[in-house]
Amino acid sequence: MDFLISSAYAQAADAAAQPNPLISFLPLLVLFGVFYFMLIRPQMKRAKEQRTMISALAKGDEVVTNGGIAGRIDDLGDSFVTLEIAPNVKIKLQKNAITLVLPKGSLKSS
């Protein structure tokens, strides 16, 4: 009879010693939340702003490329843009290479 009582106490002690599984995953969930709000969400916002800016490009806009070349849009295609970077000097590049749209008249002042 003592054998049954001692095993019952041992089972109760083992059950009390196991931590809650949600508590063990809580730091992982907090870390994922921090990564989402500090890295993933701002990157998605920047990508959305870039897509909006690219879709709003028009002929005559003054832009800067990711290589630092400033020019005026001369021709606009589906995926390529022709920039006039100097009088009678035109280059063709992908739309995704445009990083900034300048205010009108910015190129004449520089």
More confident residue, 43 or 2: 43
For the chain, the average pLDDT equals 86
Cα-to-chain-centroid distance, residue 3: 63
The CA–CA distances, whole Å, from 30 to 24, 27, 53, 83 equal 11, 5, 34, 47
* Domain residue ranges in the chain: 2-53, 57-105
**36: which residues sit within 8 A by CB, 6+ positions away?**
none
Q: What is the mean pLDDT of residues 72-86?
A: 95
User: Which CATH number among 2.60.40, 3.40.50, 2.30.30, 1.10.357 corresponds to the domain 57-105?
Assistant: 2.30.30
pLDDT band at 105 (very low <50, low <70, confident <90, very high): confident
Instruction: Give the CA radius of gyration of the chain.
Output: 31
**104: which residues sit within 8 A by CB, 6+ positions away?**
62
Q: Which residues pair with 72 in a beta bridge?
A: 62, 84
Per-residue pLDDT at 9? 56
pLDDT digits (tens, 9 = 90+) for 10-53: 555 555 567 787 788 898 999 999 999 999 999 999 999 999 99
